[in-house]
Amino acid sequence: MKKFHYDAERYKLVICFLKILSILYWLALLSTADSYYIPYLIVGSCGIISVYINMDEKENFIKKEENFVVLAFSCLLSLMVASANYGIFTDNNVPENINIYFFGLYQKSLFILLFIGGFFAFKNLFIYLANRLRNYYWHKKVRLGYGWKVTSIYCISMFITSAANIFIMYNCYYPGNLTSDSVYVIKQALYGPYSNQHPYYYTKIIEFFLVNGKQWFHNINAAVAFFSIFQIIFMAACISYVIVTLYQMEVSWKLVLGCLIWYIIMPFHIMYSFSMWKDVMFGGFVAVYIVAVFRIWKKIGKYNYVNWFMMMIGGSGTCLFRSNGWFAFFLSFLCFIFLFGEDANKKKMILYLGGILGLTLILKYPVLYTLDVRQPDIVEKLSVPIQQIARIIRDCDDVREEHKVLLRKIVDVDQISEAYKPYISDPIKDLIREGDKQYLEDHKAVYLKLYLEMSLSHLDKSVEAWIDLTKGYWNGGYSRWKWLDCVEGKEELGLERTIHMKNLKGVLDGYFWMYDSNSFLKIFLCIGFHTWIIMLLAVLSILRKDKESFFMTIPLISIIFTLLITTPVYAEFRYIYAVFCCIPFIIVATFFKGNLGITT
């Protein structure tokens, strides 16, 4: 019996050693990755620690029915990391004097080792966190300060956030940040005609402030600043809605203040608050929608009808302020029906969510058609398919002649190889627009068949093209974030930057620069790493059997999913800004328990 116990302990030690070794090799392989290394290092280090702790069977009590969830998400995340770094195991340059079959076997072994190492890292991390957080909830902190009125907390939070950003905008970045997209929207707002490529309803809000601003201030820059101030206040109102909800949940003041400080000091929250981009207000609407749904479920607030109203405002903005917002909302609606379709207490919410979908669908199509607002052209919607076809044209010599003949009807095929950029689809889209995009519009079925035939016959290149165009949203982090500091449109509209406090701007530019240059601070900008956090929260919610908390992650996962089939850029921070607006609240809400029915 003694010998058996000794052998069992030795076996556990050997297995533990092999797991740690595989994670270390995973980290070594990823040292050549083109993405930030810090996310891998964090997961790998925590995975190694978790392997050691999970070795104790008393600590490792994942149930059989829960094990499938852990295994599935561990495989998924490990496959995501391995796929994003396919260059490690798909090198086609066989070294001289090396047998080609041996080289192929070597590359396959690299993929297997990469997958296994990531699997053990994520799996043991999931098990460790599940064991410690399965039954964890925030404790109520009834202490000095919780007697404050809700309206006071809301107003203080809103004043601090908006005042700080207005001060920064006016003194350092007046009249706000404007890119070529911003100039395009301003021209529509002032001169028309309207296009829904940038959401019409967002354009109309800009138009209101520009027209009235020019009338009152007689200056285009002051009119733009007028809109910038509105957007700053709007985002401060959305953030304060998050903060006041945390206050009403009676979590620790440290959490409430920590979240508020995070919203105030993060560079993307500062610079985006006065950047003329649809994505900014979209992020605020998504946050309001998620928080309002949570407040309804947990009965937070004295007047529940206010929560329903805010849910409708947030949901409608989610559907109308980004082209993929409606589809993301629709996906989350389907998930809601699947999770709560038989719950009598949730039937009212199903009706409300369905009503939001129906109303916004009418506003997006019949209403805009009546107003003669143009929808985006067909090329704008096909970023991923055209990238895949371009990759096949560039890399493959066996493309069928009939496929080339069809492609030549809409684009100059000879220019595709030179124009193709793996990380952005705009060059290929522009090439098609120079050709005959109307022929593509008129023969959609023909080109759908062509796309399927080419993709299936060159599946490896099709997958590689998709990975290169989307990996920034689901893997680690990439060098895509740059704090926005530009005002375009000087010659066309007379827009220009005015700096009132140059020394302060120098300090702020240095502060923002740190997030680009400091390896630790970069983690706050890693899109894929925050996607991993959302997936981790989803796993924990499933293991805790908390369907409400699980659903809180669904709208964000839906937004990410829609980007995987529509994104024109491999890692555009503003496209995923909604995640950064919501993630502090979702982390806290995941571990909240109870229907408070607060009456303050």
Kindly report each contact of residues 144-150 with a partner whose C-beta sits within 8 Å and lies 24 or more positions away, as own/partner: 145/253, 146/247, 146/250, 148/247, 149/600, 150/244, 150/247, 150/248, 150/301, 150/302, 150/600
Q: Name the residue type at position 365.
A: Y
Nearest to 282 by CA among 249, 255, 327, 315: 315
Angle at 159 between CA 154 and CA 161, to 5 degrees: 95
User: How many other C-beta atoms are found inside a 10 Å radius of the C-beta of residue 48?
Assistant: 20
- Measured CA to CA, the distance from residue 16 to residue 349 in angstroms comes to 48
Q: What is the pLDDT of residue 580?
A: 96
Q: For 35-46, how does the pLDDT look when each residue is reduced to its tens digit (9 = 90+)?
A: 999 999 999 999
Q: Given pLDDT bands bounded at 50, 70 and 90, which one contains residue 252?
A: confident
Instruction: Tell me the whole-structure pTM to 2 decimals.
Output: 0.93
Mean per-residue pLDDT of the chain = 90
Q: Given pLDDT bands bounded at 50, 70 and 90, which one contains residue 132?
A: confident
Distances (CA, A) of 78 to 43, 57, 598: 11, 24, 43
Q: What is the pLDDT of residue 57?
A: 60
Q: What is the pLDDT of residue 453?
A: 95
The H or E element containing residue 329 is helix 325-340
Q: What is the pLDDT of residue 1?
A: 44
Q: What is the pLDDT of residue 600?
A: 36
- Measured CA to CA, the distance from residue 570 to residue 557 in angstroms comes to 17
Cα torsion 318, 324, 327, 332 to 10°: value is -60
Nearest to 84 by CA among 532, 385, 420, 482: 532
Question: Position of tokens 């120079």?
Answer: 434
Q: What is the pLDDT of residue 146?
A: 52
